Amino acid sequence: MHNGERFLREALDSVLGQTYRDLELIVVDDGSTDSTPSILGSYADERLHVIALPRVGLVEALNRGVGRARGRFIARMDADDGSLPLRIERQAELLDRRGEVGLVATWVAVVDEQGREFERRVLPGRHADLRRRLLLRNPFQHGSVMFRREVFDRVGPYRDDYGHNEDYDLWRRVARTYELATVPEVLYRYRVHGAAVTQVSPDRVRLRELLRDELWREFDTAAYGVRDTAVRLRGYRRGDRRVYEGVVADQRALAREAFGRRRYALAAEALFVSLIAWR
């Protein structure tokens, strides 16, 4: 964080109040000049550790924080967001239970400055659908993710090769070797407010598209599987309607983009699945 005084106590309390108690909270203060240091100094919880840095930037701050961590699992959060009490417990339980999963995200509530929810972002639960969504966009809110430390050591660190798409770049490297997963509960609160810094520059867009081009080159069209995709869609249809509609929309988007990239077999398969999904 940098100059995070406004929502800092709320963020800290949301982590220190987790039902999963065996954790350490590493706060990376990237050169704050407001009251952030004094707020941090007011906490006596021995689980709280502060790394005070000069202004080094997000990627370096992230890597310094992960480097300090001692746990098997790493979760990240911004200083203006919040984690619901069961967040760490639910994600750690999934990683303990499913050894093939390298990264797990949660559903997200988007809130305003007063903490009022105005949007809910849901995700499919299956690795194949999450990996395909990577072809279209970054599917995960960065702060909602937990990953294994050993996975990060193998595929990391965070890199600035793609500008402010360091998280998107990490997810695609994880997905090459490990499965992605979702806890289908709203366990993270992402705050949108006037002082939030959002890096949406032409350079970020250009580098994001470069990353997506690489993802498309790596994707094996033969792995799409019409039957398997249709079966998963039927499963989603019996659950949360928003998840189902999102995965159907993904098939249409895949069809359009695959056609534009001259991946005609994939375009035909994805279009077929999107059409039969509503039957």
Residue type, 36: T
Q: Which run of H or of E encompasses 27?
A: strand 25-30
3 within some domain: no
Same domain, 136 and 271: no
Structural domains of the chain, count: 2
Cα 187 to Cα 180: distance, rounded to the nearest angstrom:
17
Q: Is the pLDDT of residue 199 over 60?
A: no
The answer to whether the CB of 76 falls within 8 A of the CB of 145 is: yes
The residue segments making up the domain with residue 168 are: 8-218
Residues 74 and 158 in one domain: yes
Tell me, yes or no, whether 242 and 168 share the same domain: no
Same domain flag for 250 and 209: no
The pLDDT value recorded for residue 194 is 77
Co-location of 123 and 206 in the same domain = yes
Let me know: does 249 contact 277? Beta carbons within 8 Å: no
Who's near 258: CB < 8 A, 6+ residues apart?
Answer: 221, 264, 266, 267, 270
Mean per-residue pLDDT, 246-272: 97
In which band, very low, low, confident or very high, does the pLDDT at 111 lie, cut at 50, 70 and 90? very high
Amino acid at 220: D
Give domain status of residue 194, yes or no.
yes
Q: Quick one: pLDDT at residue 240?
A: 93
Residues 112 and 249 grouped into a single domain = no
Same structural domain, 109 and 186: yes
> Is there a single domain that holds both residue 140 and residue 254?
no
SS3 string of 151-197? HHHHHCCCCCCCCCCHHHHHHHHHHCCCEEEEEEEEEEEEECCCCCC
**pLDDT > 90? residue 201:** no
Mean pLDDT of the region 186-214: 86
- Residue 115 in tokens: 């903490």
263 plus 162 within the same structural domain:
no
Encode pLDDT of 131-182 as tens digits: 999 999 999 999 999 999 999 999 989 999 999 999 999 999 999 999 999 9
Instruction: Report the CATH number at residue 181.
Output: 3.90.550.10
Q: Which residues have CB under 8 Å from 226's CB, separation 6+?
A: 269, 272, 273
Clarify whether residues 170 and 191 are in a common domain.
yes
User: Which among 201, 218, 235 is the end of a domain?
Assistant: 218
